[in-house]
Structure 1
């Protein structure tokens, strides 16, 4: 973040972060960089982070059940998957399923 803030000294920077604990407690750094603003995604909302969607695809389509004998073999496998994936990649259709509300038995809303 130091190099990003230095590269854009006269611009307001808005940085979106997940709720990982290492992203917290940055008040001192933010005071020294008043043009930088951190915004955190809601807890338990990994679907908002598109790289999490990509990691899920990689895991489900390539790594699940695989076994590797070396780090180099793993790297080559992932590189080959990425190349094949990119050859047929299309934009994500990013949707959120409809949220349904359900009634709790014995609880009613009464009008005043």
Structure 2
């Protein structure tokens, strides 16, 4: 699974309707808008199927929001022997709550220590090391700094922006949330397929 957030998605309502395309003239979008607030999207892209298997849209993207998203994702596949999640190094991706979720999936209890003081929970580095341990049932693969483009969900987020967000009009935050979730359902039914990953690992600089 590739996991990422898109924050600050604006619910923009165009003050005038779009002018449809005609022969020799592209569609014209009104540049003036009324802003109704923002929403945040947390989504998980299944690289094997090309589907969005879990998506949450809301006003915040806190540590609790992220852990709730991962928990809902894991619950969908209760018999999976292992999960591999790819994500960037955001602090909410290395949180105490996420460590506790991963630990709870292990067959034996794990002593985690105390946040900021001892053990696995002592620091962000110790938490990241625990979360990326390949022996766990849920393993997180952190993309290197400045390399979030290696995460395939970035491709899907650009599809969402081009197909829906860039040209649409939203009358409220609820309308924005509904249209995003409707687009995901439509995408999963009609457009979803694995991306052809062509990057070979060749160094970008010599």
Match of 2:196 in 1: 93
Query: In the alignment, does 2:151 pair up with 1:53?
Result: no
Point out where structure 2 has 5 or more consecutive residues left out of the alignment. Answer: 1-97, 109-122, 134-139
* Number of equivalenced pairs: 86
Aligned-pair CA distance for 1:70: 0.8
CA–CA distance in structure 1, aligned partners of residues 194 and 175 of structure 2: 29
Considering fraction of residues, name the structure with more strand: 2
Pairwise CA RMSD: 3.3
Q: Secondary structure at the match of 1:92?
A: coil
Q: RCO (CA 8 Å, sep 6+): is it higher in 1 or 2? A: 2
CA–CA distance in structure 1, aligned partners of residues 199 and 186 of structure 2: 27
Output the TM-score relative to the length of structure 2. 0.34
The answer to whether the Cα contact below 8 Å between 1:41 and 1:48 also exists between their aligned partners in 2 is: yes
Q: Secondary structure at the match of 1:74?
A: helix
Match of 1:43 in 2: 145
Considering fraction of residues, name the structure with more helix: 1
The answer to whether the Cα contact below 8 Å between 1:5 and 1:36 also exists between their aligned partners in 2 is: no
Match of 1:73 in 2: 175
Point out where structure 1 has 5 or more consecutive residues left out of the alignment. Answer: 11-24, 103-112
